[in-house]
Amino acid sequence: MDYGTAGTALATGLLFGFVLEQAGFGSPCKLTAQFRLTDWSVFKVMFTAIIVAAIGILLLQVNNTFGSQGFYVAEMYLWGTVLGAVLIGAGFAIGGYCPGTSVVGFGSGRIDGLVFMLGMIVGVWAFAGVYDSDFIQTVVGGTALEARTVPEWLGVSPWLVVAAMLLMLAGGFLVGRALEQRSHGVYSAEDITEGRDPGESDELGHDLGREASAGRRGETD
């Protein structure tokens, strides 16, 4: 790997970790609150990011700017993707992280993030140990779907897919806002740093503007 490639990898990785931490995604409480439907930050951040990147890529592809028509899209092996997503979703609900966010959790000082990372290494060894089995070979060895992208698969314009995703984001935002207001479950920076449960502090009558400083919090009690 030359210096240019290494520098690019380091810089893009650094930006990635920086943004995820600023979103609060080093906190397993905030991350798993998406699955309890009390804090919709994961959905909002991910879906917004996907749509922004997708629109940028589509615009670049009009004139093949930066060779964008050759950007990599992995093929889909249905059972590998489905079973992998099952295990990663379960691992997220149980361990509190996904692979990338465990690194962010560790980077913000969380020992449990480091332990999750160690668990992943063991998980790779476990996979390597049973890789030759008939079951795994059947799962990973099937044929890939011929179409790699949804527009190809459905035979529609990619912009129609982006429009549908924008509608989903708007719908998710409205549903999410209603559920967040009902549960008072959105974790603030202070909640995730000091290990507080936002629902509980509301019940005790604390300041609902949870980004307020500790001093102001006292006054409003």
Partner 1 sequence: MSCQVRPLWPPFIAGIVLGLVVLLTFVLVGNGMGSSGAFARVATEIGLQVAPEATRENAYLGGMAQGNPLAAWIVVAAIGTLIGAILASVSSGRFRVKVDRGSGRIGVAPRLLLALGGGLLAGFGSRLAAGCTSGVGLSNTAMLGVAGFVFLIVFFVVGIVISLLMRRVW
Which residues in the 122-181 window bind partner 1 by CB under 8 A?
122-128, 131-132, 136, 139-140, 145, 147-151, 153, 158, 161-162
Residue 185 within binding range of partner 1, rule CB under 8 A: no
CA dist., res. 16 & res. 22, Å (int): 10
CA dist., res. 45 & res. 201, Å (int): 25
Q: Which of 62, 63, 64, 85 binds partner 1 (CB under 8 A)?
A: 85
CB 164, CB 25: distance < 8 Å? no
User: For partner 1, which is the closer residue by CB, 158 or 205?
Assistant: 158
Q: Which of 62, 63, 74, 204 binds partner 1 (CB under 8 A)?
A: 74
Structure tokens that stand for 23 in this block: 């979103």
Q: Closest distance between partner 1 and the C-beta of residue 205, in Å?
A: 19
DSSP string, 20-48: HHHTTTT-HHHHHHTTTTS--HHHHHHHH
User: For partner 1, which is the closer residue by CB, 57 or 206?
Assistant: 57
User: For partner 1, which is the closer residue by CB, 132 or 219?
Assistant: 132
CA dist., res. 68 & res. 55, Å (int): 12
Neighbours of 209 (CB within 10 A): 10
Residue ranges in 13-32 that form contacts with partner 1 under rule CB under 8 A:
13-24, 26-29, 32
CB 217, CB 202: distance < 8 Å? no
Q: Which of 166, 174, 189, 208 binds partner 1 (CB under 8 A)?
A: 189
User: For partner 1, which is the closer residue by CB, 118 or 208?
Assistant: 118
Q: Closest distance between partner 1 and the C-beta of residue 57, in Å?
A: 6
